[in-house]
Structure 1
Amino acid sequence: MLTDRQGNALQGANAQSADFYSQALEAFNVYRNDPVALIDQAIAHSPDFAMARIFKAYVLGLATEPQANEEAREIVSSLAVQRLTEREASHLSALRLLLEGHWTKAAIVLDWHNMEYPHDLLAIQTGHLMDFYRANAQNLRDRLGRVLSKWTTDIPGYSILLGMHAFGLEETGNYGRAEETGRRAVDMEPLDCWAHHAVAHVMEMQGRAEDGIGWMITRYPHWSGDDNFFKVHNVWHQCLFYMDIGQTGKALALYDRSIRGTRSTVALDLVDASALLWRLDLAGAEVGDRWEELATCWDAHMEGSQYPFNDWHAVMAYVGADRQGSLVRTMNSLQALAKSESEVAGWARNLGIPLAKGFAAFGRGQYREAAEALYPTMFISNRFGGSHAQRDIISVTLTEAAIRGGMGSLAEAMASSRIDTRPRGAINQGLLSRSKV
């Protein structure tokens, strides 16, 4: 039987489909090119190639987009009548749980799977992404820690594991080891965007904006190609560095050219756009009618949304564009989701709704109401999607609400807390200065 490059059996594949599968996995590993197109080629050559269809379902299921998720469910239904190996059946169990909104249960299935099949790179990477989407910093690190001893540098994909491990180390606060591991990963595979962004995260969390700008510019050819799925997110990091040294103009120019230049409708790109434009707006940049374009793009993702982290970022756009009807629909959607039995219901109930209310109140100029809604979320926001850097927008907005709402004690306390961890940044220094007025 044919195997993938890590030695895992590929039941139902022929030489051509196995080759397309390997190409797709390599594209997925470094977030370049179009893995789905390559998977489709594999399926076209071998319609009964179960792992190819499982792979496609993962990519669609992890997109956090309603239409893509529905297509993933159709693939899972078709796989249910196919005779699968134990490894394939394990993947299918994880996929079912993921698509039912049980992210942690799905991730735990892949925990066990990774221990049984430690060289299954697809399982490791999809499990790592599930850990990211549910903001489980410990497992972002430990999923890799549990399998790395089973790998050697001569096994294809070893550097990809290092890049994932670097991000897990960063999210658990081990910044020195994270940077060392991330740099090693990109030395081995310069196109590894995930490893590159792990190092950028270290610099962001340590307030090393100048280092971060240098890191992004020096490695620009490796992460900035049009075929790079992670390009927008890495530009987002570059913009944060510019903002942290007071160069909001450069950040706004990058927003126009590289974040919204193609008018992407991909949910992950829209999340970055909302989060950056909100920060720019708070910083006093002239954002003009940019909110309108972004809000329109979000509309296509709201029907059937099952990921409250996205809904919260859509709310930012609707607040910015003053689309009250869209705000109401999004809030109603979150409230309906909160009544379901899935894990994401808890995310909607405990975080999605309070964050939506807090950001909407901020947009109405009801700053005390915004602060009261946002303050409790800071202590549990690591229970749903994104990184520490992404969720930092809660603290920034809360501090700004306290300043604008005349809540001097809260404003100074929040600004002082931010200065305690990142004393050099222009944003934090500005917040502290304004909180004492």
Structure 2
Amino acid sequence: MVGGNLRLGEAAMIQDRQGNSLPGASPKAAELFDLSCRRFARFRGDPVAPLDDAIADSPEFGMAKIAKAWIYVMSTEPGATAGARRILRDIEKEHPALSEREAAHIEALQAATVGNWTVAGRVLDMWSAFHPRDYLALLAGHQIDFLTANARNLRDRIARALPAWEKVPERSFLLGMLAFGLEEAGDYPRAEAAGREALEKDADDAWAHHAVAHVMEMQGRAEEGRDFIRRRRAHWAQPDSFLKIHNWWHLALCHLELGEFESALQLYDDEIRAGESTIAMNLADAAALLWRLQVIGVDVGERWDELAEAWTQHADGRCYPFNDMHAAMAFIGAGRRNDALDLLVAAEGAEPGEMRDWMAQTGRPVIEGLVAFDRGHYMEAAELLFPARQIYGTFGGSHAQRDVIDWTLTEAAIRGKIHGLADSLIAERLSLRPGSRINRAFQARSKKEH
């Protein structure tokens, strides 16, 4: 499973804050590694810069290079993923003798960098079973579970490790991760309790804040969610927060649920796209918000043009289909349907593996369904989107993010006068969020179409 030629004397080496050996690191480099992990967990501050400094200080520090590769590959961007592969090649040349920890991480990274995320997650699962205080393994594994939409493991990976963290630094960050896993697994009361406990211990834990916001979104507590996010703005909207745009997106969803469409659009202009971020995660949030607004009839003007152009650097049909779905929204919104369909052509040339399978099984019908919806072919859109929305353990994203597929499907059923489907989908939505103004508006419009 993992292996390699082990370095001697690991027990006497410098350790990280959780007690794991760091072969090749000086005390200064170890501190920089710990700083990077804390920034990674908080989504605040540049996590790569400390690693670069650590490598400059200690060129034989393999775990610093491995951590940098993890940060690159988890961006789900083609260019950064290629950078992670280069780091792995350099490690192979420069570090012929690996510690057991390094070997396990490299095995997982080799799978992740070619798009086999599930394999990567399982390697880290087994490593963490025996080494539950490997902070980097848990951070990377948790993100892999999110990228693969593995709700069960989002919860259970952290639950398995948590008992070993009773008196270990950064335990509160594990509570924030557990909170998100519990939320995605549908255990909302325990999710909120874990998230709020994490926030009591570290108010600036943006991931824990985001987990609580997810609970409120899934329970239809839009007004409470709006006020919760606004009230805690000073803790998650710092200039160096990598999660601030995603949390602005969550606030925008609250506005949508409350029928405050102008407020949602204002957030798009003032926060979500104000800096014209080129980070794929931020582009996905922007596309998902604009698409929702446009589907329910809000005029978004020419905003699609800038967003579609920004997507051209990441959308390749091969790296991460969840991103390609959002790029397709932007292309379609900008009147560039052919660019959306070209993603499917590009996907056909991908190397065999998990990402090609995801695109074939989910990405293709979703993108084709979005194009059909845009063309006014609502029956075709519904036939494509209905099975594609039932995603488990593939394709990525959260329940809240993937709900954009259901929005489009519901609207297609209403516009296409597919009454039975429309009524059943609306009943499903109302059972989960009975107070949602969006869902009630779907219901009112559907009745008029009968």
Question: TM class, shorter-chain normalised?
Answer: over 0.9
1:428 corresponds in structure 2 to 439
Q: Partners in 1 of 2:178 and 2:102 — Cα distance?
A: 25
The 8 Å contact of residues 18 and 42 in structure 1, kept in 2 or not, is answered as yes
- 1:267 Cα deviation from its structure 2 partner: 0.4
> Which whole-Å deviations, capped at 9, do the CAs of 1:175-209 have from their partners, x for residues lacking one?
00000000000110111111111100000000000
Q: Partners in 2 of 1:35 and 1:305 — Cα distance?
A: 26
Which SS does the other structure have where 1:330 is aligned? helix
TM-score by length of 2: 0.95
Q: Partners in 2 of 1:103 and 1:365 — Cα distance?
A: 36
Instruction: Pick one of 143, 155, 165 that aligns with 1:151.
Output: 165
Instruction: Pick one of 321, 332, 335 that aligns with 2:345.
Output: 332
1:184 corresponds in structure 2 to 197
- 1:45 Cα deviation from its structure 2 partner: 1.0
Q: Tell me, yes or no, if structure 1 residue 402 matches structure 2 residue 416.
A: no
Q: Partners in 2 of 1:158 and 1:397 — Cα distance?
A: 40
> Which whole-Å deviations, capped at 9, do the CAs of 1:227-263 have from their partners, x for residues lacking one?
0000011111000001101001000000011100000
Aligned residue identity for 2:186? G
Q: Tell me, yes or no, if structure 1 residue 375 matches structure 2 residue 389.
A: no
2:281 corresponds in structure 1 to 268
- 1:324 Cα deviation from its structure 2 partner: 3.0
- 1:382 Cα deviation from its structure 2 partner: 5.0
The 8 Å contact of residues 61 and 69 in structure 1, kept in 2 or not, is answered as yes
The 8 Å contact of residues 114 and 120 in structure 1, kept in 2 or not, is answered as yes
2:121 corresponds in structure 1 to 107
1:296 corresponds in structure 2 to 309
Q: List gaps (5 residues or longer) in structure 2.
A: 1-12
Q: 1:215-254 to 2 correspondence within 5 Å?
A: 215-254=228-267
1:44 corresponds in structure 2 to 56
Instruction: Pick one of 81, 101, 112 that aligns with 1:87.
Output: 101
Which SS does the other structure have where 2:352 is aligned? coil
Aligned residue identity for 2:59? P
Aligned residue identity for 1:392? D
2:10 corresponds in structure 1 to none
Instruction: Pick one of 86, 89, 99 that aligns with 1:77.
Output: 89
Instruction: Pick one of 114, 128, 133 that aligns with 1:119.
Output: 133
Q: Partners in 1 of 2:152 and 2:363 — Cα distance?
A: 22
Q: Partners in 2 of 1:382 and 1:88 — Cα distance?
A: 27
Instruction: Pick one of 156, 161, 169 that aligns with 2:182.
Output: 169
Q: Partners in 2 of 1:382 and 1:297 — Cα distance?
A: 28
- 1:217 Cα deviation from its structure 2 partner: 1.1
The 8 Å contact of residues 162 and 185 in structure 1, kept in 2 or not, is answered as yes
Aligned residue identity for 2:346? S
Q: Partners in 2 of 1:301 and 1:409 — Cα distance?
A: 39
Number of equivalent positions: 434
Alpha-carbon RMSD across the aligned residues, in angstroms, is 1.1
Q: 1:318-357 to 2 correspondence within 5 Å?
A: 318-337=331-350, 340-357=351-368
Which SS does the other structure have where 2:40 is aligned? helix
Q: Which stretch of the first structure deviates more once superposed, 134-143 or 210-219?
A: 210-219
Q: List gaps (5 residues or longer) in structure 1.
A: none
- 1:384 Cα deviation from its structure 2 partner: 1.6
> Which whole-Å deviations, capped at 9, do the CAs of 1:138-172 have from their partners, x for residues lacking one?
000000111111111x3111001000000110111
The 8 Å contact of residues 77 and 314 in structure 2, kept in 1 or not, is answered as yes
> Which whole-Å deviations, capped at 9, do the CAs of 1:405-425 have from their partners, x for residues lacking one?
121221111111100111001
Q: Partners in 1 of 2:373 and 2:120 — Cα distance?
A: 36
Which SS does the other structure have where 1:96 is aligned? helix
The 8 Å contact of residues 128 and 138 in structure 2, kept in 1 or not, is answered as yes
The percent identity for this pair of structures is 48
Which SS does the other structure have where 1:352 is aligned? helix
Which SS does the other structure have where 1:191 is aligned? coil
The 8 Å contact of residues 66 and 304 in structure 1, kept in 2 or not, is answered as no
Instruction: Pick one of 395, 404, 409 that aligns with 1:384.
Output: 395
- 1:328 Cα deviation from its structure 2 partner: 3.0
The 8 Å contact of residues 65 and 305 in structure 1, kept in 2 or not, is answered as no
Instruction: Pick one of 27, 43, 49 that aligns with 2:39.
Output: 27
The 8 Å contact of residues 308 and 334 in structure 1, kept in 2 or not, is answered as no
Which SS does the other structure have where 2:312 is aligned? helix
TM-score by length of 1: 0.97
